[in-house]
Amino acid sequence: FSLAIWPLPSMRVLSCAVHVLAVAAENVTSACPPTIYSGADSGSEFCFCQLAENPGCAGLACSCSEGCNVGVRHTDTVTFPNFHTASGCSASTALLTIPRNYYSDIADLRVWCPDAWQSLLVEMLIDGFNTFQSEVAAGPVQQCIHGASFVSTKWLHLHTFCVGGKVDGMPIGLPFAHCETMTQVSEAAALAAKFAVIAEAGPAQI
């Protein structure tokens, strides 16, 4: 596992970027209770834990090969570049958005946050979309989530990449993943509801 090198902007620029992103997502902040990572202190999940600044890995030396000061941090999520780039389009940078809380996959999110899991998905979709617009290219994006039985890194993550492109074998249908196209932030809630098809199946049925 590896991350593309994408350092955080300077404090002044970062403050502006976070402010802009927060304005779009301020009304959809999730109400999921805190969930703390308790897995191994190595590997890709541990790296994701550190990028998410989850309490389960607080104070430990950074294990990510490109460092832990990468990406854009939002209220409940973090967005950073996928080491794998998208093929089939000029804007080849692909992004990953992860929650700060620990969930191994989308089915796990639904179990541990039954009342607000779609609200967190809305945040993830918006944060991934807005970061793509500001850091990669303007325009519609594809957004995909793996089925629970087909997750390589067991920390819930949303893929955001160019329309018409491919990354990590996606877009692809069930049971491997579910993908949607977002053209504007106002679509996020409707799109989050569509991901229920993969969340509600759960790992036993996928």
The model carries a pTM of 0.83
Q: What is the pLDDT of residue 206?
A: 34
pLDDT reading at 180 higher than 70: yes
Q: What is the pLDDT of residue 5?
A: 39
Confidence of residue 201 (pLDDT cuts 50, 70, 90): low
Q: What is the pLDDT of residue 175?
A: 66
Tell me the average pLDDT of the chain: 83
Contacts of 145 (CB under 8 A, 6+ apart): 106, 156, 157, 158, 159, 177, 178, 195, 198
pLDDT reading at 205 higher than 80: no
Sheet with strand 77-81: strands edge to edge: 72-73, 77-81, 95-99, 158-162, 141-146, 177-182
Confidence of residue 151 (pLDDT cuts 50, 70, 90): confident
